[in-house]
Amino acid sequence: MRRSCAAAVLPSLLFLLSGCAGLQYRMTGVLPSASDSRAPAFQMPPDAAPLGAFLRGQVALSRNDTETALKAFEDAVAADPDTPFLRLRLAGLLVRTGQLDRALEQVSRVVAAQPNDPDALGLLAGVQSSLGREDEASATYEHLLKIDPDSQDPYLFLGALYSKRGETDRAVATLKRLTSRNPNSILGYYYLGRVHAAARQLDKAEHYYLEALKLNPQSELILTDLALTYELQGRTDKAIELYQRILALNPQSVLVRRRLGGIYVGQKKLDDALTQFRELERVDTDPREARTKIGLIYLEKGDPERAATEFNLVLAAEPNNWRVRYYLGSVYAEVRELDRALAEFDRVPVDSEYYVDARIQRAYILQKSDRLPEAVREVQAALKTKPDNPELMGYLAALYRERKDIKSAIALLERMVERFPENDRYRFTLGAAYDDAKDKTRTIEQMQRAVALNPKNAAALNYLGYTYAEMGTKLDEAEGLIRRALELDPDDGFYVDSLGWVYYQRGDYRRAIEELERAVELAGDDPTVIEHLGDAYARAGNPRDALRVYRDALGRAKDKDQVDRLKGKIQALEVGGARVEGTGL
């Protein structure tokens, strides 16, 4: 059986962990969840008005109706202005909606009533920092550390503030207080590395990044910053080693591929190499960047709600930070708030370097939501800015094929092959599109070209061999091609299925059954592979096994033609005496 490998651009940002942890409310302005043991204990007022408003707000939040929730919490505070918890809940929601001045007013009143409430102090410091009131934020963080010295986030944000001011020693001292109290603080060591890197103390930066990696060896963020440090040191081989390690974890990392590509180009051209190293970006310890990094780490740890809060704080201070807006859209996509994700991606303007990635993210969401015409328009918009980008062209062709718009897919793929005639993958995809159009001659021609360009293209070898087997011609050549594919990937169930189909077409049903049974083990959820096995059982005179297998395939089939075909085969066996034909697929 052939498996079409049409190129598709997946979302450029691939996260290492997924899932939605419970809301945690410390230092970020995220509202406390019902299960958060750190949420401040409170006694709801007996008056019905604030209680009713509070409950309305909770219900609205559970439905992601932020506007209604905000109005409800405002009503609750108006009805009971003396309960700090209600004001704190309102302040947190104001942060999430970008209304920092109003949030500052509400949380300041909470702190005035409860000056040692760590949750209120954490939110106050975060809002002060985002509003640029850094002296006040520093003082608030210092006060918070006196009453809650085991809380991690105040050390991180305070260290970032000191570093931004150029007070490296104070920043380092603050972060070392954290690692002294908590030797397992990944973020503590990580930000020690960043502070030293910003101060061009690269050996110390390397030391602390390595300490952080001991605690989390697969952190893409830490690995990336360490690799950048190696680049600044001129240790190119070490940087390459780490970039390759990152790509093994996340093949879609745009940043890493750019860096790695630049290094490789530089190794061939010395002058260009010198230029690359001189223009390497300085590590930015601006608190907004710190919040961005921490937001990404929270997301990596499986806490998208806290990540969203950090990104919202950055955007409140810098609404046109399209990189962070792109991250925020990715968070909403991660937690399946798809309308909000689409809206955030749509705000990225055409002149932003994140515009194309944002359009592809929108296309991917729309594709998965069965809104293919809209997905096509998103990729077409991206292509207007990068008209010859082969990945975008390949993704658009894949969408055309999914829409059954084979004519448009072929036209686009022919353009790709004309633009990149030596690319075997594009030849393969064009051949598969011709097959969609039932043009076997051109299918075979493109698959032959793909194999000629790359004799180790296992997919093309298998596709060509299976096409011959399907047509019942050149079966010896078909077997040779498929066996070459299996040498490259011996456990691919679709390739094994192709070999079984060659035996079937020869009438060697015993050997066909042997191979097809193995194919089902390797790719058992594919209805066509299962149907092939049923055909072989039927031809070999095993109607009971054939009927069992056909019913299994029918339960998995989605294509209407296959469903109708399977129903016919089942009916023929049930009534008895009917001759079962092969699928010819």
Q: Which of 80, 82, 23, 71 is nearest to 50 (CA)?
A: 80
Place of tokens 């059986």: 1
CB atoms within 10 A of CB 221: 18
Q: Measured between alpha carbons, how far is 541 from 525 in angstroms, rounded to an integer?
A: 24
pTM for this entry: 0.53
pLDDT in the model for residue 96? 87
pLDDT in the model for residue 581? 47
Token reading at 333: 């996509």
Burial class (CB in 10 A: 0-12, 13-18, 19+), 43: exposed
pLDDT in the model for residue 406? 95
Q: Measured between alpha carbons, how far is 23 from 243 in angstroms, rounded to an integer?
A: 33
State the chain's maximal CA–CA distance in angstroms: 90
**Res. 227 pLDDT band, cuts 50 70 90:** very high
**Distances from the Cα of 364 to the Cα of 195, 333, 385, 409, angstroms:** 37, 10, 18, 18
DSSP characters for 4-70? --------S---S----PPP--SSS-PPPPTT-TTSPP----S-HHHHHHHHHHHHHHHTT-HHHHH
Tell me phi and psi for residue 117, to 5 degrees: -80, 110
pLDDT in the model for residue 329? 94
Q: Which of 146-150, 257-261, 304-308, 521-525 has the lowest mean pLDDT?
A: 257-261
Are 41-131 and 457-585 in the same CATH fold? yes
The mean pLDDT value for 330-349 works out to: 93
Token reading at 379: 């990729």
On whether the CB atoms of residues 486 and 492 are closer than 8 A, the answer is yes
Cβ contacts of residue 160 below 8 Å, gap of 6+?
171, 191, 285, 286, 287, 290
pLDDT in the model for residue 367? 94
Please give the DSSP secondary-structure letter assigned to residue 471. Answer: H
Q: Measured between alpha carbons, how far is 153 from 121 in angstroms, rounded to an integer?
A: 12
Q: For 536-560, how does the pLDDT look when each residue is reduced to its tens digit (9 = 90+)?
A: 999 999 999 999 999 999 999 988 9
pLDDT in the model for residue 51? 83
Q: Which of 192, 202, 197, 210 is nearest to 235 (CA)?
A: 202
**Res. 32 pLDDT band, cuts 50 70 90:** very low
Q: Where are the domains of the chain?
A: 41-131, 457-585
pLDDT in the model for residue 132? 87
pLDDT in the model for residue 331? 92
Q: For 467-501, how does the pLDDT look when each residue is reduced to its tens digit (9 = 90+)?
A: 999 999 999 999 999 999 999 999 999 999 999 99
pLDDT in the model for residue 451? 97
Three-class DSSP labels, 389-425 = CHHHHHHHHHHHHHCCCHHHHHHHHHHHHHHCCCCHH
Q: Measured between alpha carbons, how far is 397 from 401 in angstroms, rounded to an integer?
A: 6
pLDDT in the model for residue 19? 29
Q: Which of 341, 409, 438 is nearest to 11 (CA)?
A: 341
CA-based angle 541:547:553, to the nearest 5? 125
pLDDT in the model for residue 304? 87
**Mean pLDDT, the chain, whole residue set:** 84
On whether the CB atoms of residues 500 and 519 are closer than 8 A, the answer is yes
Contacts by residues 440-446 (CB-CB < 8 Å, ≥ 24 positions apart)? 440/467, 440/471, 443/467, 444/468, 446/417
The mean pLDDT value for 448-457 works out to: 96
Q: Measured between alpha carbons, how far is 52 from 68 in angstroms, rounded to an integer?
A: 13
Three-class DSSP labels, 332-370 = HHHCCCHHHHHHHHHCCCCCCCCHHHHHHHHHHHHHHCC
Place of tokens 């969401």: 365
Q: For 270-303, how does the pLDDT look when each residue is reduced to its tens digit (9 = 90+)?
A: 433 333 233 333 333 455 665 776 677 677 767 8
pLDDT higher than 60, residue 509: yes
List the CATH code of the domain at 457-585. 1.25.40.10
Instruction: Please state the separation of Cα 354 from the chain's center in Å.
Output: 15
- The number of CA neighbours under 13 Å toward the Cβ of 406 is 11
pLDDT higher than 70, residue 41: no
Amino acid in the structure at residue 525:
D
Q: Measured between alpha carbons, how far is 144 from 273 in angstroms, rounded to an integer?
A: 47
The architecture CATH gives domain 41-131: Alpha Horseshoe (1.25)
